[in-house]
Amino acid sequence: MTPMKKPEPKAQLLQGNEACAEGAIAAGCRFFAGYPITPASEIAERLSVRLPQVDGVFIQMEDEIASMGAIIGASLAGVKSMTATSGPGFSLMQENIGFACIAEVPCVVVDVMRGGPSTGLPTNPSQGDVMQARWGTHGDHPIIALCPSSVQECFTLTVRAFNFSEKYRTPVIFLMDEVVAHMREKVVLPDPGQVEVVNRVKPSVPPEWFLPYEDTSYGVPPMGIFGEGYRYHVTGLVHDIRGFPTLRQDEIEPFILRLFRKISSHVEDIQLFEAHQTEDAQSVIVAYGCVARSAYRAMVQARAKGMKVGLLRLITLWPFPRRAIEPLAKAGKALVVPEMNMGQISREVKRVVQGAAPVIRVNKIDGTLIGPHEILEALEEEKS
């Protein structure tokens, strides 16, 4: 008999927030703790229905501080965990995000950016949390932050965020913006078997031999699970390889350096970006999130006018993908950076370029999307 052909996955009309929730499920997330906040509430709403369907747990917490603490605890118990919020709630999570960094607890934090500061513009788009994602919590620490530009990417990059989190034992920030979060597009969700899922490395030794923060060749120690008999000390203090607080200089510096090394030595895996027609370009638009969609249209319109324009779309914002910027600067290409803030990524571009190429900012802070015509105007001014 000829085996029956498996039906192709059907296209669905999904909102970005809904696709993010589905990506979390596909990645193996089975615990969500959060507090409703515009424009991220639909993530919690969908997971409140979907998680019980896959034997997961959804909890609405009393605030964002408790939400972050809850997903850290769940992750230590062996469950892939996520929370979702927007700017004000993201601010409240920062202390516990730092705890997750130093205790090396994998988890995913979704921040759907809106206008600020404070309550700001609760229902309007912004890209104002870029620097907060990098420097929101105190002290020296590395961080990974991803930024989608489509509803399909809200699914695929949520999976990638979980994979990075588990692979490198670190919190990962998923920076969406209100436009992408609330936009609806046709997406195809793959079957579960088609999704690459990475799980944390577990110890290969019995609990009595386990060193929870021992260095490894790639900088990431295996992670023991409390429910599987591995009990160890977890603290927000700088600690030794057994997890106990230390003031020894020969333990402090190697520990902090390892936290950075486990990210910096794998940037080729972590730093994601797309280049469109940059080879012959004289000007390159550097954009991310929803603005990258306007930037792509501006590139097409500019090419139609005979202007040699390319697009570099940043997907990973942190660690900042300087290896994508440096070749453009060395070639003397003008870099146009449109973003819905006062110039947070453009500062990083300028830092990398070091004056080798002009950097033109296109900023908008009134709660509306940057249109292709505004980017095109900047390109035409640069050319003249």
Looking at every residue in the chain, the average pLDDT score rounds to 96
pLDDT digit string, tens, across residues 117-142: 999 999 999 999 999 999 999 999 99
* pLDDT higher than threshold 70 for residue 273: yes
pLDDT at 227: 81
Tell me the two tokens of residue 138. 């105190």
Q: Average pLDDT, stretch 110-119?
A: 96
Distance CA 136, CA 128 (A): 12
Q: Provide the percentage of residues in the chain whose pLDDT is more than 90.
A: 93
- Res 3: pLDDT: 62
8 confidence band (pLDDT: 50, 70, 90):
confident
pLDDT, residue 383, reads: 76
Whether residue 200 contacts residue 81, with contact meaning beta carbons closer than 8 Å, is answered with no
- Asked if 83 and 76 touch (Cβ cutoff 8 Å), the reply is no
Residue 1 has pLDDT above 60, yes or no: no
Enumerate the domain spans of the chain. 11-194, 207-268, 272-383
pLDDT over 70 at 6, yes or no: no
Mean pLDDT, residues 216-236 taken together: 92
**CATH number of this structure's domain 272-383:** 3.40.50.920
Confidence of residue 226 (pLDDT cuts 50, 70, 90): confident
Q: pLDDT band for 4, please (50, 70, 90 cuts).
A: low
Question: Is residue 212 predicted with pLDDT exceeding 80?
Answer: yes
pLDDT in tens, 31-89: 999 999 999 999 999 999 999 999 999 999 999 999 999 999 999 999 999 999 999 99
Contact 146, 172 (CB under 8 A): yes
Q: Which CATH class is domain 11-194?
A: alpha beta
Whole-model pTM: value is: 0.96
- Distance CA(249)–CA(266), nearest Å, equals 26
Coil, strand or helix at 161: helix
Say if residue 221's pLDDT is above 60.
Answer: yes
Structure tokens given for 52: 């019980």
The string of DSSP letters for 230-265 reads ------SS-B-TTS-B---HHHHHHHHHHHHHHHHT
CA pair distance 103, 70, nearest whole angstrom: 14
**Does 272-383 match 11-194 at the fold level?**
yes
